[in-house]
Amino acid sequence: MEDGPLQALFTDAAVIANLRDLNAGVSLATITLSAARAAVVQKLNQAGIPVVAWMALADSDGYYLNAGNEPAAAARFAQFENWTAQYGLHWSGVGFDIEPNIQEFGAARQGFWKIGGTLARRYVDFGRVMRARRDYAGLIARIEARGYPVETYQFPFIVDERRVYSTALERLAGLVDVRGSREALMLYTSFSHGAGPALIWKYGPEAQAIVVGVVSNDAPVPGFFAPLDWQQLSNDLIVAAHFSPVVGIFSLEGCVQKGFLARIRSIDWSRTVTLPEASMARATRVRFVVETALWVASWLPLIAAVAIAAIGWLLYRWRRRRTARAC
């Protein structure tokens, strides 16, 4: 959110009052390090609202943190510290949103052939994964040494990748399997309305914290995923709370625009949420397909080598038999 809309969001006293009553905090993207954004942080500090600094880069650097921009992330943190000191800001932590380069999202929407060459090169670049893990682990250690707990926001598929001992997703998408003080899985059921909260039920046991959504109309991939309505959001929150005492929502502005923030205060957390059998089956299929795809992608060179060797052996046997018959 740009500075103007951000300031407007917090001019409404009810927003801060609702956050305080919910014992909620805010993860604030550092897309600018301006006086206007600092004023918003100061207002939240004065109100006793915890604020996490969500490290966001310039679009030219990829916006999200990933395997291709650790130097830009380190430079951004240095700028952030200077800005924090200049305005006397207080933070409850630093957030790493680990996702593919935002420019690659745009290219992929035009067709994967646009980035096919890049993906092919990354597929065989195992060193990139190790370098990214090492560099980001070092950056997290430096940030935590400065007194800021670091929380990472990850796609849930990183959990599937760990389960099948693969690095294919890291290599291809630029994700980085690195953790700080807490890892939050972004379990956005707006991306899979058919599975709904069953997706949270499937991934929840492996999450330290859960982020649900998307509720705003300006979704990360506009036009592809319908935002959640109130019933869907409240169901997701109740299911997520079953697994984690820390549940986030993407995004605060969406909740305010749709009147959801005040309604969260009245949720009956003991209410039962029914997960239809069809939804559970779909969520199970999603995990199975993802894990199978990652396993195959990880072992594809070996599978190909075995297949080629098998075909070669069959051809050899076939030619020997033909030769024997000719004699």
Low-confidence ranges of the chain (pLDDT < 50): 220, 222-223
In sequence order, what DSSP letters do the residues of 130-193 get, joined into one string? Answer: HHHHHHHHHHHHHHHHTT--EEEEE-THHHHHHHTT--HHHHHH-------SEEEEE--GGG-T
Q: What per-residue confidence (pLDDT) applies to 313?
A: 77
CATH (domain of 175): 3.20.20
Domain count for the chain: 1
Q: What per-residue confidence (pLDDT) applies to 326?
A: 61
Q: What per-residue confidence (pLDDT) applies to 165?
A: 94
The tokens of 92 are what? 């409850």
Phi/psi for 183 (5° steps) reads -110, 125
Domain region containing 166: 3-326
Strand order in the sheet with 247-250: 26-29, 51-55, 93-97, 150-154, 182-186, 209-213, 247-250
Q: What per-residue confidence (pLDDT) applies to 16?
A: 95
Q: What per-residue confidence (pLDDT) applies to 298?
A: 86
Is pTM beyond 0.85 here?
Answer: yes
